Structure 1
């Protein structure tokens, strides 16, 4: 009953909405997906796709989501074990690697920005080249600051739990 109702109303409506959104993206893959969803919606509306087939697709989707959640839970359990091992370690550096990394990144950032500011002030004609060179360092800073951000957020969450 519900599958039949979903097949007649819900699924075509969802496919129409998603297809319409994809159709407004200027990309050939999005256009192809939009056309495919339009054709699929028409097939469901005509009854070419049966409620049993929709129920099987839903069952498969639910199983895939369940597997993904199980995998995510295992990953989080591993991360939590690692963090607990860090906290319980007798080695002070292992316990303090996150703050140490934060201090190292902050010190490096201050030194880099101070050096750049001094270089621009002392050689203003070279400022465009200096700034252009700074742009080339953005990937490494993005990684370092990303790791630092994750560490800070994770440590904040650990403190809330503790």
Structure 2
């Protein structure tokens, strides 16, 4: 199906904007469905051939896809507006630590991880005979780092949920999210 989608993208270059995005597969499916609808066939190859050989069908297809692309741009704009509103709300917080807590913790973790890794590398280079023991000691820190990264994940998720609720969005529970993902497969 990839050559067909590349060919459709050549007919409507605006589609290529989303080629590497998360929405690429959905847009590709929509593009093929619109092509088959405009041509009046259920065969992908026949739809493509008809669009390439009949200029009037190509114009109809391009007009239909322009509507799809405009809707996609509108959705992207709404998402960017939401992100912008969220960032403004965080920056306008009366409590200065609210604005800095998450970044401070993440920077501290990144610095700690960097120092630990560089120290480990330097120690192994300077004392190769201690390499196995040092690597085992680093491996023993896996639980500690796992907890720290879990804290970051929970903080990010909780803050994202708070922002969504502040914007009036319904935030699904963890179980609802798992069920939604399971249904997509």
Q: TM-score, normalised by structure 1?
A: 0.45
Higher normalized contact order (CA 8 Å, seq sep 6+, divided by chain length)? 1
Name which one, 1 or 2, has greater alpha-carbon Rg: 1
Q: TM-score, normalised by structure 2?
A: 0.40
